[in-house]
A and B are shown apart, each in its own frame.
Chain A
């Protein structure tokens, strides 16, 4: 049933009116995503608690499974406070500016071989373009809150999102060059034998890093850094508005994880092919998406936050040159029609070089270890002058 609704693709002809079917599809996907986000909050809390050797939510429902429902009820029923001096238009508009693009991205994502809201030839471009709009919302929220922390957070968010957009798009461009299409569907189909992570490891690493930055998750949570700007742009938002921001964050996490699963891990295609049925395909997609999410959580619990200058220099001085190099190498391979193994070799070499560079830059100056002083002259203090 649900399948019939979501499958609004023209080829399926579930509904005659494409506009109506797209609208229905959007509504359904919004609802499903909201539920998925509720589960994600529960899972995140549980998984992070595991990594930190504690239990996480346990009280509400079995294993705390009903915790997100309680949280949602609480958040929705909370009073929404708006500062008296806030810029009302910017304050409210920011919500839409962040919330809407996150869900619009989902329109172009093919969950299985024939499960998507709207097919398009340039779906990858669409996803990146619409997904990149959210920084406007952060700026609006930062300005509209009339709070210096929010302003700092908004500025940081704008700088960070724009900076990391570039290496991410370039890494995607490298993949598009290999596949020869900017349609996510075609990219998935291309990976029927070997997923693209094998041919493009460097692009994958760049994508993964830039994704964490785009999602503003640790260690790139500089715009919302709790210990510095105390929530950043969200500092003045409360109740339902705040929960919408959180919802958006998780929807983005799903969207980018799905994108990574489709573009680099083969989505529902690899390794079983297209013919296994939509159920298995969906399961496969979810598993690959979960890999990304677990990775994000793992990173979250293990790394401190970068500083803003380190963040910027990492994007512009490290990721961007490597992304450009990847494109250049792919171009060479394509122009001279070299075998695919060369792709692996060049990209893999680039990935290793990237890792080595990051490692060595941090340890650029070997530091002396602590001196251990065992015998301080233990002269009795007192009147004995030197």
Chain B
């Protein structure tokens, strides 16, 4: 079963106007209402390397936002979390779903007249290490001119997400790419063969975090440490 949509460390973006400071103001650690329901036990403890906060409160979408429209259209689907993420200007709604709900929600997003999200602009895989793999869908509506970010999480052991290529043909190659890079199998995809990688390279997922670019990182650690880069412009 889809693992619990453990909250990643998205953070409310400080408003651009008051953020000339180099780091974002430290946000309180308290969880907002949107993710209060999640079991805190599954959160892996990550030691804070720096004083900066690793997690931050998320802003709950204002009433009447897209997540409520989706919830109204699909009463069976539970939206695990809904919060705002920064867009180029303003902010957009992001929702987290269980993986089996993704096709149904995206179908509604495309077909429901209130949502009319006819454009899948991007589909990304993300490796959250201990917290599993994530697939992020960025949707856009030409008619309503709003955008929505849909996220779903799976575990490494059971990295299968239902394909949405039948709903959005644009997802076809994106899903193949995500399979290449993260090993996320998209069930129901018409042609899930390697796209960017060689045809026989089906067991090696280069963008996963467990394949670090060791040499480069070591070199950078030695040569680009803070203070060592004084000579740079």
Contact of A382 among B64, B68, B91 (CB under 8 A): B91
B92–A385 touching, CB < 8 Å: no
Among A379, A380, A381, A383, which residue has the most Cβ atoms of chain B within 10 A? A383
How far is it, in angstroms, between the C-alpha of A173 and the C-alpha of B92 when the chains are bound? 75
Residue B146 lies at the interface, judged by CB distance under 8 Å to chain A: yes
Residue B43 lies at the interface, judged by CB distance under 8 Å to chain A: no
Nearest B-chain residue to A379, judged by Cβ: B145
Nearest B-chain residue to A382, judged by Cβ: B90
B84 cross-chain contacts in A, Cβ below 8 A:
383
Q: Name the distance in Å between A50's Cβ and chain B's nearest Cβ.
A: 45
How far is it, in angstroms, between the C-alpha of A316 and the C-alpha of B115 when the chains are bound? 55
Residue B144 lies at the interface, judged by CB distance under 8 Å to chain A: yes
B88 cross-chain contacts in A, Cβ below 8 A:
381
B144–A385 touching, CB < 8 Å: yes
Number of A-B contacts (CB under 8 A): 47
Binary CB contact string for chain A from 364 to 383 against chain B (1 if under 8 A, 0 otherwise): 00000000000001011111
A382 cross-chain contacts in B, Cβ below 8 A:
87, 90-93, 146-147
Residue B171 lies at the interface, judged by CB distance under 8 Å to chain A: no
How far is it, in angstroms, between the C-alpha of A386 and the C-alpha of B114 when the chains are bound? 6
Residue A384 lies at the interface, judged by CB distance under 8 Å to chain B: yes
Segment 77-106 of B: residues with Cβ below 8 Å from A: 84, 87-93
B145–A383 touching, CB < 8 Å: no
How far is it, in angstroms, between the C-alpha of A300 and the C-alpha of B87 when the chains are bound? 51
B140 cross-chain contacts in A, Cβ below 8 A:
381
**Contacts A380-B89, A380-B90; A385 near B114 (Cβ below 8 A):** yes
Main secondary structure of the interface of A (DSSP, over half): loop
Segment 57-78 of A: residues with Cβ below 8 Å from B: none
**Contacts A386-B144, A386-B146; A381 near B114 (Cβ below 8 A):** no
How far is it, in angstroms, between the C-alpha of A296 and the C-alpha of B166 when the chains are bound? 52
Among B64, B68, B84, B145, which residue has the most Cβ atoms of chain A within 10 A? B145
Segment 339-386 of A: residues with Cβ below 8 Å from B: 377, 379-386
Segment 110-133 of B: residues with Cβ below 8 Å from A: 114-116
**Contacts A386-B114, A386-B116; A381 near B145 (Cβ below 8 A):** yes
How far is it, in angstroms, between the C-alpha of A385 and the C-alpha of B147 when the chains are bound? 9
Contact of B69 among A377, A380, A385 (CB under 8 A): A385
Contact of A383 among B91, B114, B116, B143 (CB under 8 A): B91
Name 15 interchain pairs, CB-CB below 8 A, sorted by A. A377-B145, A381-B146, A382-B90, A382-B91, A382-B146, A382-B147, A383-B65, A383-B91, A383-B93, A385-B65, A385-B146, A386-B114, A386-B144, A386-B145, A386-B146
11 other contacts beyond A381-B146, A385-B69, with CB at 8 A cut-off? A381-B88, A381-B89, A381-B145, A382-B146, A383-B61, A383-B146, A384-B65, A385-B115, A386-B116, A386-B143, A386-B145
